[in-house]
A and B are shown apart, each in its own frame.
Chain A
């Protein structure tokens, strides 16, 4: 009988996904298309934010939307009704998007004709945080009714995002959500994050968010 040996591996578990994501970012740079990965829990306002964003910047940027859902086409129908190209990815039970799925979804677009593709990830604060989609920037929404304790419960999600949108601020007066406390918790996890307060309902903050996004897009596509 042969002897048991210890074989050193030292390999990232998700290295295949990470490599594909890096390759995709390289390709996006060449094709001059910015991809934003938008994440949140279900009902935080991803689709509403996308619609508000389109209304604000579709005149200046050519936009496409990649919708991921476990099993429905409701969101892509809403986006397509604005005249923007929307592609629906049905994840078929999968709780997140990974790089191969995004690459497949982006195949449906003519990337050269687009400046920005927004990915609406599956509504979930856990799994999407673990998988690099190949997007240029990660954004997340935390909505006021969800509570100011979410950074404590889902630290990884808050730590991987470049921008946090605090949505439904029109509910603030009705809730005990502590904005300063929440921001402090987030900054402890991610000192470089940009935090923007918005309400898709009243339109507050959408201007600031749209300028942030437009600036990032221009910086990337040159």
Chain B
């Protein structure tokens, strides 16, 4: 149920930026969420619809862009995208090393919003 405070936070940030930009209606909010983070579109939209009632964000659509997990090989610095659900067989496609640093995949931010 951590979607509820997360959704409240999205709404608060969007309303804050709406005020800063003098807009009166928010149509869509675009989020970037890393593949390693849990955020389900269907649930978050449902919570958002509930929380945003009677605000200028009522009816706004949340669009989630999933940012892939990208690893950098500790040995040869090659960066490559992986399917986090298949971590099992991952080794560097260039040198076979199995130690990596995480380049992306933990994103959790609001990119922008469409408003008038």
Contact = CB atoms under 8 A, between A and B. Distances in A.
A159 B100 CA distance: 12
B6 A191 contact: no
Interface string A6-25: 11111111111100000000
A130 B37 contact: yes
A191 B101 contact: yes
Interface in B1-53: 1-2, 5-6, 9-10, 12-14, 17-18, 21, 23-24, 27, 31, 36-38
Given A2-B116, A3-B116, A152 B87 contact: yes
Contact of B100 (A1, A3, A95, A191): A191
A131 B74 contact: no
Interface residues of A, number: 37
What band does the interface of chain B fall in when counting residues whose beta carbon is under 8 Å from A? 35 or more
A155 B87 contact: yes
Interface string A201-212: 000000000000
Given A7-B21, A9-B14, A126-B38, A188 B98 contact: yes
Interface of A: 1-17, 93-96, 98, 126-127, 130-131, 151-152, 155-156, 159, 184-185, 187-189, 191
20 contacts: A2-B116, A4-B114, A4-B116, A5-B21, A5-B116, A7-B17, A7-B115, A13-B6, A13-B9, A13-B13, A14-B6, A14-B9, A127-B1, A155-B36, A159-B36, A159-B102, A188-B87, A188-B98, A191-B100, A191-B101
